[in-house]
Every structure is written in structure tokens, then in C-alpha cells.
Amino acid sequence: MSRKQFIRNAALGFAGTALAPVTGKALPLGEAKGMSDNIAANRYRFKNVRLETGFEFDGEEVVGTKTGLFSIDIEDGKIRTISSNRPEENAIDAKGMLMLPSFKDMHIHLDKTFYGGPWQAARKRTGGVKGMIALEQKILPDMLKTSTAKAEKLIELLQSKGTAFARSHVNIEPTSKLQSLKNLQAALDHKKKVFGAELVAFPQHGVYYTDSVPYLKEAAAMDIDFIGGLDPFSIDGAIEKTMDFTVQLALDHHKGIDIHLHESGDSGLKTVEYLINKVNENPSLKGKTYISHCFVLGKLDSAKQEAIAEQLAEAQIGINSTIPFGGLIMPIPTLMKHGVKVMTGNDSIIDHWNTFGTGSVLQKANLAAQLYGQSTEFGLSRMLALATAGPVPLTDKGVQQWPKPGDVANLAFLDASCSAEAVSRVSPVVSLVYQGNIVY
């Protein structure tokens, strides 16, 4: 189905679309008679697919991006072959659209949203994060009644923006117990053919501030990927005790770590340094430990920013940022320069915390490009990595590195001539493919 039809269906209400099958009945992009059966069998061909092939240089400066049109075979969820374009062939016509890796939202709360229900602005905050915990204790029991259906609506919003994968935090605390997790897992199960996710067991109400330990232990033994956390000093009153518990739980269950850290000042910096030490002591956590937000980095002087960035890179600890602006600017270029893995996400999309999430991580890449002055062809093209959580078609030198035969067919087709234009213009996504399944 077309993206427009997809969005229309997604807006129809909870009942109709949750189990909408992925079929080849309505063809995406151009017409291709007789392809339906092949699509259903997950074996089909695209033609007129635009791929980036290199940079155009003026001396040392990148002044443009070279592209070409190709035919691409998809089989069993993977890219089988990439070959010279055969426009006369019977295949799905990509009509010259730019093919990119589908996008990833690496910090979101799919379990906890007003999206899909009536509009509701955030309420005035009282009492900081602890005030928000008190609010959640009041409103979560009601929200849980519709959280599966709302998560599905939210997933459809992300898909409409080219996102086929998310890292979702999910509340684990004494009010929701394991119910938020179970409800989200039901939504993800309904969407498993068209959307992927990894889950963070998130002690939103503190590990000890409310007694979340037994529920976290239970969640850690279930099908989750990361142990979460929340401001260990300001919520639990102890950095070491909370971080030791978090790290040990991750180690015991072979999970990663992804903690929310809003705290700045001494306690924020201490938490970052404590986690760096713990990861260095336990190298199995390298490459799978993340700090979300980590606002404290934006408050440090530039020499300290450089030093911490170097330590984070060495411990292979990544930073997840919503790319804040206004009150605080994160040193994202410094982190990237030192090789820290930086990823982005929408975090909140219409909920009691915030209402400004659009669902688009391409828009986040655009925001980063604006904030950090990346307006050249090269700079814009590099910012695409924020939307894809890593892969970009061309290396820094302009050598084609994506796609390759054997890559999983997670694809977004955009009405754009190249990555730089897509980031700069937040170009529309016209088609999305997840593991070879055509979403729209």
C-alpha cells in the first residue's frame, strides 16, 4: 500500500490495523504485474533504485554526491544482488527514489504514550522527577488499560517516518510491576513482521526510591535486552549502591545497560566516571553500555569534555541524545570526533513528560546539522548516521559501503537525490521495507 494509504489506515482507530497483514496485494511504488506472489514469498526485485556511488570533489572539498540507478533483488529478508539497472524488466519500480538504510529510534518509551488518544498537553511540573513519579503512580493504572493499542499506533507513526526499529525503555516499577512490559511485548508481537525492537527494563521510579528490585530481577530474566536506570543520586540517594546493582544485574543476565542520566553537576559526572570504571573492570559490557541524555557532558568545560569523550570511547560506552537545544547543547561533535557511538531518538511523543516528538529521527539528524553547523554536502551526509544509528551509504572518503549483498533488507525509499538533501530537507519517506517485508 502507498504511504498515504498506510497513514490513513493507521489513523482509522485501534481495531482495524493492528493485525493488518503484510501482503503484496497493493503494490508500493510503481506497478509490477505478477509480482504479488513473489512479494508474498519474500522474493522480488526493485528497479530504478537510486544509490549513492561516491562524492564529487572540487579539489579537497566535497561539492556533490554521485548516484546511479540499480536493480536490487530481495530474497528471504536480505539483499541478494545489486546489479545494473534493467528498467524494461517486470519489477517493482522505485522510480528513481533514493534507497537508504531504514531508520532507528534508539530512545523512546513505546509503553507510555497518549499518542492515538485525544490531544493532551503536558501538565505544569511540580517537584521535579520525584513529582513526576508521584504523577505516574496516579495515572499509570489507567494508561495500562490501552497501552498495547497505543504502542501499536506509535509504531505506525514511526514507520510512516521511515523508522523500522526502536530501542524502547519500558517501565518496571511497583505500580506497573511487569504489566507495561507484557503489554508492550503484545504490541511488538503483533508488529513483528514489520517492526523490530530491543527493550530496556527501566526503573522509572528509582531502583530503591520505590522498591523496584524484585521487579527488575524478574524482568531481567525475561526477554529484554538492557538494564535501565534513572539518576542514581537524585532519585535513590546513592550512586554506588544503585550502579553496582545495575551492573551486576546486567552481568548476571548477559544484558546491556542503558541508563537515563539527567543529573548534571558533581553527581552526574561521578555517575559517568563510576560507570566508565565499572565497564573497564567488566569488559563484557563494552559495546553494550549506553548513557541516555547525559546532560552533564554539556555542562563541562571543553577540556573536560574532550577527556571524558576519550574515556567513553575507550570503554565503548555510547551516548543516546534527543539533541536538546535551548537550555543545553550537547557536545555531540566532540563525542563523534573521539569515536563515541552517538545515537538519537524521540524519547517522548505526546505524553505527560513532553509533547514535541514528531516520530522522525531524520528530523533529529536535521536538527543536529543545524545546531552544529553542518550545512555542507559532506557535513549533512555524515549527520544521516544519527537517523540510521550507524550505517551510511558512503565512507568519509566517498567509497560506497552500503548496501552490500547479504545485508538485511531494512530499507527506506526517500524522495531525495542524496543523503545530504534528505537530511537538509527532511525529505519524505515514500516506502519502508523491514527484513524484506514491504510495510508500505
What does the binding site for Zn ion look like in residue numbers (CB under 5 A)?
347
Q: Which is nearer to Zn ion, 52 or 347 (CB)?
A: 347
Q: Which three cell numbers stand for residue 312?
A: 567513553
Kindly report the backbone phi and psi dihedral angles of residue 378, in degrees, each rounded to the nearest multiple of 5, phi listed first: -65, -50
Q: Which is nearer to Zn ion, 111 or 156 (CB)?
A: 111
Instruction: Give CA–CA dist 386/365, Å, rounded.
Output: 6
Q: Which is nearer to Zn ion, 110 or 315 (CB)?
A: 110
Assess contact for 149 and 18: CB atoms under 8 A: yes
Q: Which is nearer to Zn ion, 91 or 132 (CB)?
A: 132
Q: Which is nearer to Zn ion, 231 or 347 (CB)?
A: 347
Strand partners, 165: 104, 196
In the complex, minimum distance from the CB of residue 169 to Zn ion, in angstroms, rounded to a whole number: 5
In the complex, minimum distance from the CB of residue 175 to Zn ion, in angstroms, rounded to a whole number: 17
List, in sequence order, the alpha helices (H) in 221-284.
239-252, 265-281
Which DSSP state fits 127?
A: S
Assess contact for 52 and 37: CB atoms under 8 A: no
Q: Which is nearer to Zn ion, 290 or 413 (CB)?
A: 290
DSSP per residue, 193-232 = TT-EEEEEEE-TTTTTTTT-HHHHHHHHTSS--EEEEE-I
Q: Which is nearer to Zn ion, 93 or 258 (CB)?
A: 258
Q: Which is nearer to Zn ion, 347 or 421 (CB)?
A: 347
In the complex, minimum distance from the CB of residue 14 to Zn ion, in angstroms, rounded to a whole number: 24
In the complex, minimum distance from the CB of residue 228 to Zn ion, in angstroms, rounded to a whole number: 9
Instruction: Give CA–CA dist 163/39, Å, rounded.
Output: 21
| Buried-exposed string 302-318: b where 16+ CB fall within 10 A, e elsewhere | eeebbebbbbbbebbbb
Instruction: Give CA–CA dist 197/105, Å, rounded.
Output: 9
Kindly report the backbone phi and psi dihedral angles of residue 369, in degrees, each rounded to the nearest multiple of 5, phi listed first: -60, -40
In the complex, minimum distance from the CB of residue 322 to Zn ion, in angstroms, rounded to a whole number: 8
In the complex, minimum distance from the CB of residue 132 to Zn ion, in angstroms, rounded to a whole number: 11
In the complex, minimum distance from the CB of residue 263 to Zn ion, in angstroms, rounded to a whole number: 14
Beta-strand pair 61-75/289-293 = unpaired
Q: Which is nearer to Zn ion, 170 or 392 (CB)?
A: 170
| Buried-exposed string 251-287: b where 16+ CB fall within 10 A, e elsewhere | eeeebbbbbbbbbbeebbbbbbebbbebbeeeeebee
Q: Which is nearer to Zn ion, 105 or 347 (CB)?
A: 347
Beta-strand pair 43-58/61-75 = antiparallel
Angle, vertex CA 266, rays to CA 261 and CA 269, nearest 5: 50
Distances (CA, A) of 428 to 151, 248, 424: 23, 44, 12
In the complex, minimum distance from the CB of residue 108 to Zn ion, in angstroms, rounded to a whole number: 8
Beta-strand pair 163-171/103-108 = parallel
Q: Which three cell numbers stand for residue 397?
A: 572518503
Residue nearest to Zn ion (CB): 347
Assess contact for 343 and 104: CB atoms under 8 A: yes
In the complex, minimum distance from the CB of residue 195 to Zn ion, in angstroms, rounded to a whole number: 19
Instruction: Give CA–CA dist 239/3, Å, rounded.
Output: 47
Q: Which is nearer to Zn ion, 347 or 351 (CB)?
A: 347
In the complex, minimum distance from the CB of residue 291 to Zn ion, in angstroms, rounded to a whole number: 12
In the complex, minimum distance from the CB of residue 244 to Zn ion, in angstroms, rounded to a whole number: 22
Q: Which is nearer to Zn ion, 245 or 290 (CB)?
A: 290
In the complex, minimum distance from the CB of residue 188 to Zn ion, in angstroms, rounded to a whole number: 18
